Amino acid sequence: MNIAIDGPAGAGKSTIAKAAAAALGSIYVDTGAMYRAMALFMLQRGISADDKAGIERTCEEADISIAHKDGAQHVFLNGEDVTASLRSEAVGDMASKSSVNAKVRAKLVELQQKLAETTPVVMDGRDIGTVVLPNAELKIYLTASSYKRAERRYKELLERAAASGTSSDEIPSLEEIEKDIIERDYRDMHRENSPLTQAEDAVVVDSSDMTIEEVTERIMRLARERSAGK
Ligand code: DC
């Protein structure tokens, strides 16, 4: 069974998708990481977000692939494992901007569809239920309020700074993070190509007041119901 999980940034898609894939014995595919790898390549090349020709040229030269090690997805950009370089704000921002490009989307959607043809997947992104896997057996639209999502991201940044022994002075404020999230949502939802929308047959799950365990349990229950033909 293929499961599509879409929703805005920070709703908990990857955590939930990872847990669901492990429980079902499926492969977890994080499509955002592919857009991020493409964005990283553009940043390395010094391409700006409004340089359409530069973005398309870079896209043609990018060879992106994924592999799984101990259940974790690793993303390769032109043969190099770039997984550890994908989570920065700069890469996320460029990914949101460059993913509006139709050529970028076509290339990555093809890769995603090929992956799902060969193995059962739990795939998360923005257009999985609507474009990439329109026939997925279960579609989830996972969302949460922008404040809750900002709060989670803020805590994650604080924990990461503490773990690496770096100062938390560099971390943006909660207000700045929420503003950035609202801007990114707007861009993802209003772009011309494959905007983030809820598929008609998606089940909406609002994780604002739910724990990770509660959301995972809800999704596993839905998956069991679907596979039993309900
Ligand atoms: O899920 P994420 O934050 O890692 O995604 C980064 C950006 O990539 C996001 O702002 C929009 C884009 N994206 C997309 O357009 N389509 C997807 N299926 C996944 C991500």
Q: Verify that 130 and 44 share a domain, yes or no.
A: no
- Other C-beta atoms lying within 10 Å of the C-beta of residue 175: 11
pLDDT class of 230 with cuts at 50, 70, 90: low
Q: Verify that 41 and 97 share a domain, yes or no.
A: yes
Which of 71, 94, 119 is at the close of a domain? 119
Structural domain of 62: 28-119
Please identify, by atom number, the ligand 1 atom nearest to the C-alpha of residue 92.
Answer: 6
For atom 13 of ligand 1, the residue with the nearest CA is: 32
For atom 6 of ligand 1, the residue with the nearest CA is: 32
- Other C-beta atoms lying within 10 Å of the C-beta of residue 210: 18
Q: Verify that 6 and 37 share a domain, yes or no.
A: no
Q: Verify that 7 and 103 share a domain, yes or no.
A: no
What is the chain's mean pLDDT, rounded?
A: 94
pLDDT in tens, 104-125: 999 999 999 999 999 999 999 9
For residue 217, pLDDT beyond 80: yes
| 170 CA → ligand 1 middle, Å | 24
Looking at residue 96, its pLDDT comes to 92
Cα angle 95-100-105, degrees, rounded to a multiple of 5: 85
Total domain count for the chain? Answer: 2
| 192 CA → ligand 1 middle, Å | 15
Q: What is the DSSP string of 87-125?
A: -SHHHHHHHHHHTT-HHHHHHHHHHHHHHHHHS-EEEEE
Q: Provide the edge-to-edge strand list for the sheet that holds 27-30.
A: 27-30, 121-125, 3-6, 138-143, 203-206
Q: Verify that 109 and 223 share a domain, yes or no.
A: no
Q: Verify that 34 and 147 share a domain, yes or no.
A: no
Q: Verify that 21 and 36 share a domain, yes or no.
A: no
Task: Give the span between the Cα atoms of 24 and 127, in whole angstroms.
Answer: 22
Which of 102, 119, 136 is at the close of a domain? 119
What are the two backbone dihedrals, phi and then psi, of residue 179, each rounded to the nearest 5 degrees?
A: -60, -45
For atom 10 of ligand 1, the residue with the nearest CA is: 96
Q: Verify that 16 and 126 share a domain, yes or no.
A: yes
The CB-side HSE value for 141 (13 A sphere, CA atoms) comes to 12
Q: What is the value of pTM for the model shown?
A: 0.92
Q: Is 125 in the pocket of ligand 1 (CB under 6 A)?
A: yes
Q: Is 35 in the pocket of ligand 1 (CB under 6 A)?
A: yes
CATH label of the domain that carries residue 180:
3.40.50.300
| 7 CA → ligand 1 middle, Å | 10
Q: Verify that 45 and 88 share a domain, yes or no.
A: yes
Q: Verify that 58 and 108 share a domain, yes or no.
A: yes
Q: Verify that 19 and 40 share a domain, yes or no.
A: no
Q: Verify that 89 and 148 share a domain, yes or no.
A: no
